[in-house]
Amino acid sequence: MASTQFIDLADLADRIPDGAFVALPPDYSNVPMALTHALLRRPVRDLRLLCVPTSGIQADLLIGAGAVASIECAAVSLGEQGPAPRFTAAVVADRLTVIDSTCPAIHAALQASEKGLPFMPLRGILGSDILQHRPDWKVMDNPFAEGPDPIVLLPALQPDLAIFHARWADRQGNVWLGRRRELMTMAHAARRSFVTVEAFFDGDLLAEDELAAGTLPGIYVDAVALAPRGAWPMGLADLYAPDTAHLAGYARQARTEDGFRAYMAANHLEPSLVG
Amino acid sequence: MSADAPAWRREELLIAVLARLLDGVEHVAVGASSPIPGAAALLQRALSKGAMRVSVLGSRRHNPFTEGGRELFDCAAQGRIGAFFLGGGEIDGEANINLVGMGDYPRLDVRFPGSFGSAYLYMLVPRVILFREEHSRRVFVPKVNFVSAPGTSDPGVYRPGGPHALVTGMACFDFDRTRRRFSLASVHPGHDAAGVAAETGFDYDVPSAVPETAPPPPEWLELLRGRIAGELAETYPKFASTVFGASAAA
Instruction: Say what the ipTM of the complex is.
Output: 0.94
Point out the residue among B66, B108, B115 whose CB comes nearest to the CB of A74. Answer: B115
Instruction: Please answer whether residues A197 and A32 qualify as being in contact, where contact means their C-beta atoms are separated by less than 8 angstroms.
Output: no
Hey, are the CB atoms on A123 and B123 less than 8 Å from each other?
A: yes
pLDDT tier, A271 (very low <50, low <70, confident <90, very high otherwise)? low
Length of chain A: 275
| pLDDT confidence of residue A80 | 85
Span A97-117, pLDDT tens digits: 999 999 999 999 999 999 999
Please state at what angle helix B70-77 crosses helix A103-114, rounded to 10 degrees. Answer: 100
Question: Taking Cα atoms as reference points, which of B166, B106, B46 lies closest to residue A129?
Answer: B106
State mean pLDDT over A213-241. Answer: 96
CA B148 to chain A, closest CA, distance in angstroms equals 6
- pLDDT at position B3 is 57
Name the packing angle between helices B237-244 and A244-253 (round to 10°). Answer: 100
Q: Which of A255, A263, A243, A232 is nearest to A84 (CA)?
A: A255
Contacts of B65 in chain A (CB under 8 A): 179
Could you give the CA distance from residue A150 to residue A141 in angstroms, rounded to a whole number? 4
Share above pLDDT 90 across residues of chain B, in percent, rounded to a whole number = 85
> Distance between CA A89 and CA A67 in Å, rounded?
14
Instruction: Cite the residue boundaries of each domain of chain A with CATH code 3.40.1080.10.
Output: 5-118+159-267
For residue B149, list chain A residues with Cβ-Cβ distance below 8 A. Answer: 128
Nearest CA among A129, A72, A128, A130 for reference residue A96 = A72
* Structural domains of chain B, with CATH: 10-244 (3.40.1080.10)
Which listed CATH number (3.10.20.600, 1.10.1060.10, 3.30.460.80, 3.40.1080.10) goes with A5-118+159-267? 3.40.1080.10
Asked if B157 lies within 8 A of A127 by C-beta distance, the reply is yes
Mutate to test the interface with B, among A80, A87, A115 (most CBs of B within 10 A): A80
Taking the complete model, does pTM exceed 0.80, yes or no? yes
Measured between CB atoms, which of A83, A181, A244 is closest to B66? A181
Q: Is the pLDDT of residue A167 over 70?
A: yes
Dihedral class, residue A233 (left if φ above 0, else alpha if ψ from -120 to 50, else beta): alpha
Question: DSSP letters of B167-209?
Answer: EESSEEEEEETTTTEEEEEEE-TT--HHHHHHH--S--B--SS
Q: How far is CA A154 from the centre of its chain?
A: 19
Tens digits of residue pLDDT in B140-184: 999 999 999 999 999 999 999 999 999 999 999 999 999 999 999
CB B57 within 8 A of CB B29: yes
Q: Considering chain A, what is the average pLDDT of its residues?
A: 96
Tell me the shortest Cα–Cα distance from B118 to chain A, in angstroms.
Answer: 7
